[in-house]
Amino acid sequence: MKPLRTLLAALPLALALPSVALAQTLKASDTHSAGYPTVVAVEQMGKKLEAATGGKLKIQMFSGGVLGTETEVVEQTQLGAVQIARISLGVVGPIVPDVNVFNLPYVFRDEAHMRRVVDGEIGQEILDKVTNANFNLVALGWMDGGTRHLYTKKPVRTAADLKGMKIRMQNNPVLLDTMEAMGGNGVAMNTGEIFSALQTGVIDGAENNSPTLLAHNHYQITKFFTQSGHLIIPELLVMSKRSWEKLTPEHQALVKKVAREAQLEQRELWNKRVAESNDKLKAAGVEFIEIDKTPFQQGTAPVREKHGAPYAELMKRIAAVQ
């Protein structure tokens, strides 16, 4: 420990030079547990930051949702109590409505299309909107959240089978309306509440990608996985603006660079994880049901019209991305 006198003597200097790179450990949050592709990608980012800054900048990962629900984590990130958060765009929509264009059902043709859109100028525009929206967040980049399908206790083999089923959705009017338009009843709740809601019968099912269905153990209760592909919601990586402003310009540039690299690295991890999860789910007796998506695609047109109205031009540009 340095004597107090030395510390006090150094204080005016530190105050006078705010851009001096002070050692910082950035607290990062993810609702998924250790080993999940998004968690690993952010940890790799941390290792790169540490190496490039001689240990001045580090990331400490809090995975498994230990810092709270995604909505709570967004709030903590806005306040600067959490520095980096990997969150679903589903929970960002109610805070920064402009991101909802990516939360619309069947807005992307497939995952390859989504990747090309987020990698290109439209992806950057949406990141900029988050950053410039005055919500104390800096959007760093995208990650894959795969394609979301229905998983239910009773099989959904036709669109009609979904009628009246209570399906958990993320708490976002666009997503709740999507479920209504598909014929089910959307029930909003946080990720961590789904398992017991399935157990107690509060809901009949939920919808997500296969890695989440497996990792959160929902497959133990819902044995039918209907390949509806109704949503392809990219994941967002954000930083607290307060924490961002404390970084030197060099460190800011470095964080942006490694975040961009993480965007591409996570994709590789994601592809592997989806294949592994599908195999494990099948081995555990989950039935993958192929379905004619047309009724769902057509049924959700009013959602794209209503919630997509402010983004009509943008939706045309998204559709034009080859």
**Which stretches of the chain bind ligand BDP, using CB under 6 A?**
31, 70, 87-88, 145, 170, 191, 208-209, 212, 235
Closer residue to ligand BDP, CB minimum distance, 93 or 145: 145
Cα distances (Å, whole numbers) of residue 195 to 169, 219, 222, 296, 316: 13, 9, 10, 26, 38
Whose tokens are 């299309």? That residue is: 113
Whose tokens are 């555990």? That residue is: 284
Quote the CA–CA distance of 194 and 204 in Å, as a whole number. Answer: 10
**Structural contact between residues 204 and 167, judged by C-beta atoms closer than 8 angstroms:** yes
Quote the CA–CA distance of 208 and 283 in Å, as a whole number. Answer: 19
The amino acid occupying position 24 is Q
Task: Report, in Å, the least distance between residue 223 CB and ligand BDP.
Answer: 19
Closer residue to ligand BDP, CB minimum distance, 126 or 247: 126
DSSP string, 252-268: HHHHHHHHHHHHHHHHH
- The token pair at 279 is 């195999």
Closer residue to ligand BDP, CB minimum distance, 247 or 286: 286
Helix (H) and strand (E) counts in the chain: 14, 11
Q: What does residue 266 show for φ and ψ, rounded to 5 degrees?
A: -60, -35
Closer residue to ligand BDP, CB minimum distance, 145 or 183: 145
Residues 6+ apart with CB under 8 A from 98: 126, 129, 130, 133, 311
Q: What does residue 137 show for φ and ψ, rounded to 5 degrees?
A: -125, 145
Closer residue to ligand BDP, CB minimum distance, 39 or 57: 39
Task: Report, in Å, the least distance between residue 115 CB and ligand BDP.
Answer: 16
Task: Report, in Å, the least distance between residue 159 CB and ligand BDP.
Answer: 22
**Structural contact between residues 135 and 87, judged by C-beta atoms closer than 8 angstroms:** no
Task: Report, in Å, the least distance between residue 153 CB and ligand BDP.
Answer: 18
Closer residue to ligand BDP, CB minimum distance, 31 or 228: 31
Task: Report, in Å, the least distance between residue 12 CB and ligand BDP.
Answer: 44
Closer residue to ligand BDP, CB minimum distance, 157 or 280: 280
Task: Report, in Å, the least distance between residue 40 CB and ligand BDP.
Answer: 13
Task: Report, in Å, the least distance between residue 297 CB and ligand BDP.
Answer: 21
